[in-house]
Amino acid sequence: MCGRYAASASPDDLVEEFEVDEERLHEITRSVLKSPQSPPAGTPDYNMAPTKQAPVVLTRAPREDREAPPQRQLRLLTWGLVPAWAKDPKVGLRMINARSETLLDKGAFVKAAVARRCLVPADGWYEWQVSPTALDAKGKPRKQPFFVHRADGDRLAFAGLYEFWRGRSLADDDPDAWLASFTIVTTAAEPGLDRIHDRQPVVLDRDRWADWLDPATTDPDEVRALLADAPTGRFEAWPVGRGVGSGRSNGPGLVEPVAESELEGVVDPETGEILGGEFR
């Protein structure tokens, strides 16, 4: 957790909602994918997965003038944090999430936590619930995907961290010389959502966006405070089709709820009731 999410907002909508000063989604940046990203990076993607490039909001000084005031930017970053000291960018596959409880104690995350924080816009995220009663065709507990989103319909902003990694064998002006990557901060799942999975992403409300993005917020205790005391009850979740499990699947149909008649041994997040019979 969190390993898949939906992000369908247009660049114009993100620029407006996140009060972006500089939209840089069209810049050529290094990708770790062997094949072209589908859908293309920066377009609506209802099945955002690790190693893909995703729109991320961060605050940095303009590249042309490092003495100028920091600007809020919208950029494409690769999901899976690659620390500057990493020997191989493949390490990012193990760093798609950062636990909020240990964020400031881990060497891979501590520098980014106090200096390079970002917001990851999303419609909602997917999580797989392990059935307590139903088995799949192989005799293993059946897994049911859920889509979780804000009950008020507002855009989500995951708390994230970002890093820049340098490919030492390439020239500075080579577009592949630098890899910009990010991770999503997670926390213990709140009541109800913990019936789906024991972890969830940290979702920051709008009144914390500016402080989270502020480069001047460097005190570890202040960073911890921004991650603490998040209100509960902001989300609703429903079961969705199994198509989201395939990286080739995409489109708005992935977030649509499935009929209760299609469920097998699924626990209702709100009531704890088991929906559907036992599948063998």
- Tell me, what CATH number does 83's domain have? 3.90.1680.10
Task: Return d(Cα 232, Cα 193) in angstroms, integer.
Answer: 10
Whether 112 maps to a domain, the answer reads yes
| 110-135: pLDDT as tens digits | 999 999 999 999 999 999 999 999 99
Q: Quote the pTM value.
A: 0.95
How many domains in the chain?
Answer: 1
2 catalytic, yes or no? yes
- Determine the distance from the C-alpha atom of residue 65 to the mean position of all C-alpha atoms in its chain, rounded to a whole number: 30
Where are the strands (E) in 167-272, listed by range? 178-188, 199-201, 235-239, 266-267
Task: Return d(Cα 260, Cα 271) in angstroms, integer.
Answer: 15
Catalytic residue among 2, 118, 163, 264: 2
Give the CA angle between residues 31, 166, 82 to the nearest 5°. 65
Domain enclosing residue 188, as ranges: 4-275
Whether 280 maps to a domain, the answer reads no
127 catalytic, yes or no? yes
Q: What is the pLDDT of residue 280?
A: 34
Whether 96 maps to a domain, the answer reads yes
Q: What is the pLDDT of residue 39?
A: 97
Give the CA angle between residues 57, 1, 112 to the nearest 5°. 40
Catalytic residue among 17, 22, 127, 278: 127
**Nearest partner of 266 among 274, 277, 258, 257, judged by Cα:** 274
| 227-265: pLDDT as tens digits | 998 899 999 999 999 999 999 999 999 999 999 889 999
**Nearest partner of 19 among 117, 112, 115, 121, judged by Cα:** 121
What phi, psi does 8 have (nearest 5°)? -110, 0
